[in-house]
Each structure stands twice: as structure tokens, then as C-alpha cells.
Amino acid sequence: MSMTGKHIVIQFTKRWQFLLVVEVCAYALGFALLVFAVSFNLMATMCGFVVCGLVLLLIRKPWQINLNKASSFLDQSLGGMENSTGLFLTPKTELSDIALLQRHRIEERLKTEIGKVEPKVPLKRALLWLLVFGVAAFFLYYFNLFGNLNTSNNSPATKEAIVFQALDSVVSESNPPSIKEQRLTIKYPAYTGLPPKTTTNMNIKALEGSTIFWSIQFDKVVDSVFMERNGESNSMKLKGTKYIKSIQLAQSGFYNFKFKDLGGTNYLSDLYSIEVVKDEIPEIEIQQLKQFSSFDAKDDKILNFNTLISDDYGISDVYIIATVTKGEGESVKFREERLSFGALNSRSKKLNLKKTIDLAALKMEAGDELYFYIEAIDTKQPKPNRARSETFFAVIRDTVSNRFAVEGTMGVDLMPDYFRSQRQLIIDTEKLIADKNKLTEKEFNFTSNELGYDQKALRLKYGEFMGDEADSGIQVTEEIEPEALPEGEQEEDDPLGAYTHDHDHDNEHNLADLDHEEEETDEEEDPLSNYLHNHDDPEESTLFTQSLKSKLRQAMAEMWDAELHLRLYTPENSLPYQYRALKLIQEIKNSSRIYVHRIGFDPPPIKEDKRLSGEIKDIKTLQKVDDVVKEDDFSAMREAVTRITEIVANQSKLVDTDRGLFDAAGNELAVLAIKNPSKYLNTLQRLKWISEKEQITVQELLEVQSGLLRALPTIEANPSKRTFFQDEMNTLMLKELEIND
């Protein structure tokens, strides 16, 4: 369908109008984006968009673009139109023939050329501005440049202003005094280095030791102003037109203001909280260091670690306390040293310190141990906080001392001698291997077999420790020829006799006639009962003994193999097993230290006839009087609840003593409210009110009562004297029951 010239002009007009509207929208949108970035408020953004759009519409006036305007624009911008586009707008019937001809000619030309012309609308510029606004808005939004402006926008006057209510509702003045200016200044302790903070918010949260200054100004002259805190009422000083007061923060709590106007009416404010924040102790974190480090004598004995220390207000000092121990048992010596980290960046809140400890520099030798921890001190005054890290250990292993560790720590050697024979066996085996060439095969095999036998004897002895049947095999102790046994084993049957006192276990012996010789005869049945854990006793079956047991088993398994190879005349193959067995046995020996602590003092029995026969003339009857009633911390709260029930039940009025009671209850509740303000603050506020106000409704009282009941802790189970009614009938009845029983 071919369009007529008029249609083309109409379409062009509409397009023009549309583009104008788009332009306006682009500007308005850009502006709206800016508004949003500044205000973060959708409503304001919408308003911005609408207002800006309307203003621009009024300027641009897209409705003024009509057909005439469009046709004249086309005439001007298209060269070949010969000022004739106006012909399309007049009806055909009104045109002359020439005009019709001209119109037809132009129509054809317009159809081809209309694509070349655009309405005169600076759309690109508009879109460019939109882009600029958009980017600007994005940056504003992203970096929150107007964030502060925004929060302070929330009209502090309405939220934070101290609101006073008259206590006497009867004398409600039409225009009571109100706050003109309120200011709270928190001056932090000097060591924090924080600047003083001034605010209008009366709820305080500040560091312990800070000083608080209040300054309030009324719009009218008032009689006196008080600040009530922790049950005390302190008057505020008048300085110029302002009432001021200052305190140093020591404990959390609540406070409120109270003033009296010239008419004598009292006004009370809401409760405000004081929250005292304690200076945190420094935090210490040690990296790249194991709790236990051990070095061999030949190693480079260097500890390297990183320490991260942080504190909320600054660290004043950090150092290491190192303790070196030398020697063992009773001969142990301690040496304490303080190591520093070098120069500190004073007062910094975070420190990352590197430290290298050279054990050699601490003059540590093999067998010495080092214990150290890091201590950090913060800048708090007057008494700084100290923090300690956990303790770290470093040991230079002493391989030699291990073998005789037991002897070193005890007054007596409690280890039975057979433990040494494994070492003896190794020596003998090594000797056998060395002498192999000198010996005949028979001699060699015989000695090897003998050693295997000794190995078996040893194993069976260990088996006894494990609770294995001792007579399962050969009666070892009897069969071994004393010569065949290594030195250590040549002792008498009871290796423990020297260290045990028989009367410790036998009450039949009388203490008076002690006879050591008689007692030392034998103790065959269980030579180890004193030194071993009785595993049947659940108290002694610890994790530790479990591992001991398994080690012993392992050692026995190694001995089995050692014996096998000795019996097969291959002592070389047997050696590794023997060594392993020896190592295990040594470990067991070392763990035996734990027994030392478990062997308690076993007092000698007391002779029966001597019991309770002492002189008692010096023993006096003892009399002790004590009052130990646990004070109820909430007695006033309980009383207040009771009093409220009375007031509600009798519909009586509050008297002065009630106010005192409610005050006392408020002080008790404040202790709870500090810990849990969300739960109890409301009740505390109401309690304050009813203790001050003249007229109180029953509902208010019930609310307070409910809050108090909720806050009161449950009473502990406590017996009480019960009551019962007694008359002749009851008494008769009980007597009858007793008779017929």
C-alpha cells in the first residue's frame, strides 16, 4: 500500500513528538538515577523523575509539534519540496489543478526522500547525558559518598530527644518545659588515643574508664534537675543556662533524668543505658611452630616462628619467657630468661613478629628442655591487660640417659633385673657373631641355641607380666643355670625383696615386733603387684597402660622371632629382632615413671589394743556458732510483687513506703537488666514510673508484677514447716490407729 503525502507528514509529526518525549525521559531518568544514588530512597527517586520530566516537557512542549510545523520543517530540510508539502494538508477538492499536479509531483519525491530527514531532536545528546548521570550515580552509590548525609538525615531531634513526662498527671501544664539542647560527650582514656565523641544519643556505650559529660538545656527555667543512677539521685549543676554533670565510667547500669519545674511538678525521662565495654586483652597467635619440638644433638637447634598479636587499643610490650631445665629428677635445675622481639612499633594494634630462638645460644645441652611462652601487654591504664600464649616445648634428645632414666628419677631402682638381659643377649649375640670364625660349628650352634633358650626364658618372664600362665612352658627360674644367665639375672628368686616390706600387706604381723629377716623370706606369689597396674581394677585401666600392654606384647613378638633365628643358628638374622625388642623394652621402662606417682604411702597398721586408748583430757568439746543464711538477692523484688497483689486486691493506694520498695526492687532488677536489657529494661522503666508517678492504674501495676515475676529466679527447693489442723478427733484417731497397729 502506498502512502499518501499527508500520511507521511502525519507519521513524521508523530515520530518527532515521540523522539521529544524520549529525550525528556532520558534526561528525567538520568536525574532520577542521581537522586537515588544520593538518597537511597525510592519515593524521592520517583518524585525526581516525575518533576524533572514535567519541567522538561514544559520546555520541550512536544504537543506543539503539529502538521504545519512538520510540513514547514520538511520544506526547509528537504531541498526538493519547493515549499509545497503544505499542499498535502489541504483537502484535494480545495486545490486547483496545478496545485494538484504539484502535489502529486512532490508526493512522489517525498516518498523517496523522507528517509533522509530526521526530526530536529538532540537525542544523542540526551542519551549522552543519561550515560553521564548513570555513571555518576553508580560511583556515588558504590562509594556511598552521601552515606553520612543520609543517616544524619533521620531527624535526631525526634528519636533521641529526651522526653519527659509529668509524674503528676493532674497538674499537667499546658506547655511543660522541654529539652532545647542535649549533649553527651564521651572522653576516652588517654591511652586509647581516641578523640572525644559528642552525641545527642543518651544511650552510652563506652570503654571502661571513660569520662562522660552530660549537658542539657531547657527551653524554660526549671527548679532543679537530677540524674538518677543506680538508685542514687544526683543533682546536676547549673552552668550558664545548661545543666551539666560528669562521671567516670566504672560499671554498666541505667540512668534517667528528672526535673522539677517552677510549679513543683516533677518530670521523669525514659531510662538510658550505660554499657561499659572492657578493654580486651591482647590476642596472641603463634604460627609455624609445633607445641613440641625435639632436636637431636647433632641437629641445628633453631626454632623459627611467626607471632601475630592484636589488641583493640594498642600493644605496649611483647616478650618471651623461656625456662630452660637441666638435669633430671631431684637434680633438676631451672633457669628463666626473658627474650625480646626487638624494637616494637609502639602502640600499634596489630603486630606480626618473627623470632628465631637458637637453643645453642641458650646454652642448652643434650637432655635439656626449653619451655617458653609469649606474653603481651596492652596500653591500658592504670593496670594493663596481659595475655599469655600457650606454652611451647623444645627438647634436645639425650639418647644415653634414656636407658637409665628410671634409676635417675627414683630413690630406688624399681625395675626388675630381667629387663636388662635383652641388652646382655644382644652383646652376647654380637660377640658370638664376631667369634664365629674362632669357634667350631658345634660350639657356635650350641651357643646360639643357648642364647635362644635365654631369649625364651626372658620372654616367659615377660609373659608373667602380661598375666600369661607362668608354668605353660618351662619353669624358667629353676631351670636356668646361674652361670648361663647374664650377670644381671644372677640374683635371688625374688628380685623385689629388697624393696618391699611384707608387713605392708600383712596385718597379722605386729608392728611392735618387727622382724625384717623373717619378712624378707619370700614374696613369691606376685612379685610385681606393687609395680604393676592391676588391670582388673577399673580405676587403673587407663589408656596409658593399654598402650604399655600392647608394647609389651609387641616386644614379646619380637623376642619370639629373635629366639627362632637363634635356634636356627642364624644369630645375624636374630639381631634386628633383638634390637627392636630392646627398644620397646626401653620405651616401657621410660613409661614406668608414671608408676612412681601412683605408689602411695602405705601406713603401717595400728595395733587394735592401742586404739582409742589415748589421753583425752586435753580434748575439749567444741562449740561453733555460725549464721549462714544465704541472702536473697531479690527480696525487694519479691516484696514488690506481694505488695502489688495487695494493692490490686484491696484497690488501695500507694503509700510512701511502697515507693521506697519499688525503688529497691528497681535496683535489684537493674542488675539483671544490665545483663539482659531486652528482657527486663521495659519492666525496669515501668517500675521506675510507678515508683515516681502519682496515679497508677491497675494495669500498670499488673504489668510490673508480671515483669518482676518473669525476672525473679525460681526458688530453690527448700523444706518448710507445714501446718495442719488438730483437734480431739484427729488425736483420738491417731491413738486408735497406733493401738490397733
Q: Interface with other proteins by CB under 8 A: which residues?
A: 612, 616, 619-630, 637-639, 641-646, 648-650, 699, 702-703, 705-710, 712-729, 731, 734-735, 737-738, 741
As measured in angstroms, the least distance from the Cβ of 713 to other proteins is 8
CA 737-738-741 angle, 5° bins: 80
As measured in angstroms, the least distance from the Cβ of 612 to other proteins is 7
Kindly state the DSSP code that residue 470 receives in the 8-state scheme.
Answer: G
As measured in angstroms, the least distance from the Cβ of 710 to other proteins is 7
Q: How far is CA 172 from CA 266, 476, 642, in A?
A: 10, 109, 31
As measured in angstroms, the least distance from the Cβ of 636 to other proteins is 11
User: Which one, 135 or 709, has the nearer CB to other proteins?
Assistant: 709
User: Which one, 382 or 719, has the nearer CB to other proteins?
Assistant: 719
CB-based contact 185:213 (threshold 8 Å): yes
All three cell numbers of 229: 543512677
CA atoms of 129 and 53, how far apart (whole Å)? 14
As measured in angstroms, the least distance from the Cβ of 237 to other proteins is 40
User: Which one, 412 or 619, has the nearer CB to other proteins?
Assistant: 619
CA atoms of 85 and 529, how far apart (whole Å)? 128
Burial class for 614, CB neighbours closer than 10 Å (0-12, 13-18, 19+): exposed
Contacts of 103 (CB under 8 A, 6+ apart): 5, 84, 87, 88, 92, 95
As measured in angstroms, the least distance from the Cβ of 132 to other proteins is 54
As measured in angstroms, the least distance from the Cβ of 637 to other proteins is 8
What are the residue ranges of helices labelled H in 338-440? Answer: 399-403, 405-409, 421-434
DSSP class per residue in 667-690? HHHHHHHHH-HHHHHHHHHHHHHH
205's enclosing H/E stretch is strand 204-207
| Closest alpha carbon to 183 in 208, 217, 155 | 217
User: Which one, 260 or 638, has the nearer CB to other proteins?
Assistant: 638
Burial class for 580, CB neighbours closer than 10 Å (0-12, 13-18, 19+): middle
As measured in angstroms, the least distance from the Cβ of 169 to other proteins is 21
As measured in angstroms, the least distance from the Cβ of 271 to other proteins is 19
User: Which one, 597 or 630, has the nearer CB to other proteins?
Assistant: 630
As measured in angstroms, the least distance from the Cβ of 691 to other proteins is 17
**Cα pseudo-dihedral 459, 461, 463, 466, rounded to 10:** -130
CA atoms of 40 and 137, how far apart (whole Å)? 11
DSSP 3-state assignment of 514?
A: coil
As measured in angstroms, the least distance from the Cβ of 736 to other proteins is 10
Neighbours of 5 (CB within 10 A): 23
Contacts of 17 (CB under 8 A, 6+ apart): 62, 63, 65
